[in-house]
Structure 1
Amino acid sequence: MITLFEKKSIRILLTLILIFTLILLIHLTRFIFEPVAAYLTAIAVPIIGAGVIFYITNPIVNYLEKKKFPRIIGTFIVFILIALIITIIIQFVAPIVQKQFSNFFDSIPKMVKNAEQLVDMWQSNQNIIPPQLEDAMKNMLDNISNYAENITASIINIIAQVFSFVFSFLLIPFFLFFMLKDGHRFVPFISQFLSPNKARSFRTLTTNVNHTLASFIQGQFIVSLCVGFMLYIGYLIIDLDYPLFLALFGLIMNFIPFIGPYLSAVPAIIVGFFQDPILAVWASVVMLIAQQIESNFISPNVMGRALSLHPLTVITLILAAGGIAGFLGLLFIIPAYAVVKTIIAHFYHEWKKKQPEEDPDLI
């Protein structure tokens, strides 16, 4: 005879009630957690920044460790390499980018004026214009300056967030040093306080999460570098203005999955159109070629199907993250979602193992 509490539907209902009760209690006592949230917010950027660099550089430390180098020596070598790369960027790349960046923003008013003249010329040469189209064009002309200002403000806001992130590099090296030096000791340290079964489960979970993050960060870093390089070569070939600045913009945008590559093409097409209309076509061709090479050759070999995310899921997450957290939300929503998905899947499989063989499913 099956009692009421042995029914699966009742157990699920009680579990949901307990979860929502816990959420309500946390909400009612949120003042307790506000100092903790403030502390986590203060250290979030250094930890995330150090974590990203950790996953990019940790393979180098692991390789040196296999070659009998002490881990701390490998860590110092990585820091020397990072310092060398930063020095090269500051000495040779940054001045060119800064100059092209300034020239690009100085040319925005001229682009807006040319656009207004182009539309006026087209409008004056039309004998019959549908009223709806004429109203739409008039509205566009009235607001084109506002659109340009909004786009400029958005780009400046993104740059401000990037500079804020760069400022946190003052703390990032400290976090990164200990992550590279002692990161491999974290799992054994925690496991010693757990029972054998829970320690095994914890090791499996951390391995899966580590694999997920490493696959995304390392893969996206390599893919974005390749796309940025291909865009730069392509823009040089077609003689597009501001090639290095536009290629770096494309590199950064490529970190946003699915829609990033298309966002990166917008400023290049606009610059090409006002430089020479045919260059807008060639800029589109360069972007399409780079994306085809990336999606068909580079990404499958570098990233594979590590995250297994449906494109509709990616679009939904990006739209939500962009509205809630802005540009940084766009960058981090996909790996965050992948980690949460990995954790939930792990605990579900662990729960499933403990169920009777005749009743293994959740529903």
Structure 2
Amino acid sequence: MPQGKWFRIGYGIIVALLIAYLASKVDFVFNPIKKVLAALFVPLLISGIFYYLFRPFVRLFSTKLPKTLAILLVYVGAIGVCYLFFWMIWPPIRDQSINLVDNFPQIVDSVRTWIESLQQHEWLKEIGQKDALSSENITNKLTGSLDGLLNSVIGSVRGIFNLIMRFFFLLGLVPFMIYYLLSEGDKLPDRILRLLPDRYHRVVGGALKEIDTSIGSFILSKVLTSLLIGMLTFIGYMFIHVPYPLLLGMVAAITNFIPYIGPLIAFVPTAIVALTVSPMTVLLVGIVLIVSNQIEANVIGPRIIGKQMNVHPFTVMLLVIGASAIIGPFGMIIVVPVYAIIKIVANRTYDFYKHNHIPPIDPLAEMNKRHD
């Protein structure tokens, strides 16, 4: 039987695909596993994010205090931050959200008026886009989007009880998971290495350390820079008198988690709201977003963390676009760290086999050895 390199690779791919196909045919075995993983995914994700956010403070306080006391001190600080948020920031965000919904018809009228004035320009008539940009079409699309949003909200009322139960489930589970990660997380790589042969300890340990550093830096930098973007845009919107500045600043902070495309997404709703003031305000909104992102990218961002992901910008753009088509907004946020993990594992694996000249495991050869 052929024993060449490419034959072994092809043979391994065929075996993996065959296993995946057979696994898809035994739903009674894998469906419970899928449900368990789906139930654990959200609490694990939330716990992992807060673990990387809290870990620097725990390590700092652990130099002077016992680790358990340091973790409890960080928890007290986190509770204080949450209290300040709900006491100072949440009420105006809630009020601005209610006002935005109440004033949506006026916003639609402002957009329609702007479209009607735009139609009077000769250049628009020459390119033949008058019908496509008619006020009726734009208004229908905006009102249709609002109707769809309201229908979604009404349709989700049935699941409010489940949502509340899930919230309290996460509220009770996540703090314990975060505490365990903070107290035992540093020991996790060693426990993983104990399960592997000695010859893999160096490469796997290096990969785990690199992944840990990259993901931790990515999460911390994204949270800090998003808060920075939120504050800068809020100040800018206040300065140019855009309605609902705190709410729209929060939108800019959230969309900043999406690489490169995030500012464009934040611009769209803000521009629509800015039309209620004047078309010039729309231009000023664009300037505020550009200046804020340039300050974050070139001045403050590199000083906070530096380059945390060794991924080319063009690659990031392709990843974000592809993830948005396959997974949606959530995929646009997680695709870069997931790609970075895959890249680290692939590079470490390639370097290991290249320098050690250890061929991949051939399942058929292993079976023949056992029979011999």
In structure 2, the residue matched to 1:116 is 112
Q: State TM-score, norm by structure 1.
A: 0.86
In structure 2, C-alpha distance between the alignment counterparts of 1:210 and 1:110, rounded to whole Å: 49
CA shift, 1:63, in A, is 1.1
In structure 2, C-alpha distance between the alignment counterparts of 1:355 and 1:13, rounded to whole Å: 19
CA shift, 1:60, in A, is 0.5
In structure 2, C-alpha distance between the alignment counterparts of 1:155 and 1:210, rounded to whole Å: 42
1:197 and 2:199 aligned: yes
Number of residue equivalences: 350
In structure 2, the residue matched to 1:49 is 46
Tell which deviates more after alignment, 292-301 or 70-79: 292-301
TM-aligned CA distance change 1:153 to 1:92, over 3 Å? farther
What are the superposed Cα offsets for residues 86-117 of structure 1, whole Å, 9 maximum, x if unpaired?
Answer: 00011111001101111122222111122223
What are the superposed Cα offsets for residues 155-212 of structure 1, whole Å, 9 maximum, x if unpaired?
Answer: 9979x9xx88966344221211111111112222333344333333332221111011
In structure 2, C-alpha distance between the alignment counterparts of 1:135 and 1:12, rounded to whole Å: 57
In structure 2, C-alpha distance between the alignment counterparts of 1:54 and 1:125, rounded to whole Å: 56
Note the 1:1-363 alignment, pairs <5 A: 4-5=2-3, 7-67=4-64, 69-121=65-117, 123=119, 129-130=125-126, 132-138=128-134, 141-150=136-145, 153=148, 168-355=170-357
In structure 1, C-alpha distance between the alignment counterparts of 2:90 and 2:202, rounded to whole Å: 48
TM-aligned CA distance change 1:194 to 1:19, over 3 Å? closer
TM-aligned CA distance change 1:74 to 1:334, over 3 Å? same
TM-aligned CA distance change 1:343 to 1:152, over 3 Å? farther
Unaligned runs of 5+ in 1: 357-363
Tell which deviates more after alignment, 322-331 or 117-126: 117-126
TM-aligned CA distance change 1:121 to 1:199, over 3 Å? closer
In structure 1, C-alpha distance between the alignment counterparts of 2:149 and 2:52, rounded to whole Å: 30
What are the superposed Cα offsets for residues 1-46 of structure 1, whole Å, 9 maximum, x if unpaired?
Answer: xx942x3333333333333333333333354221111101001111
Q: State TM-score, norm by structure 2.
A: 0.84
Contact 2:112 2:138 (8 Å CA) reproduced: no
Percent identity over the alignment? 25
Provide the alpha-carbon RMSD of the alignment.
3.0
What are the superposed Cα offsets for residues 262-282 of structure 1, whole Å, 9 maximum, x if unpaired?
Answer: 211222222222112222121
TM-aligned CA distance change 1:326 to 1:122, over 3 Å? closer
TM-aligned CA distance change 1:132 to 1:346, over 3 Å? same
In structure 1, C-alpha distance between the alignment counterparts of 2:127 and 2:316, rounded to whole Å: 40
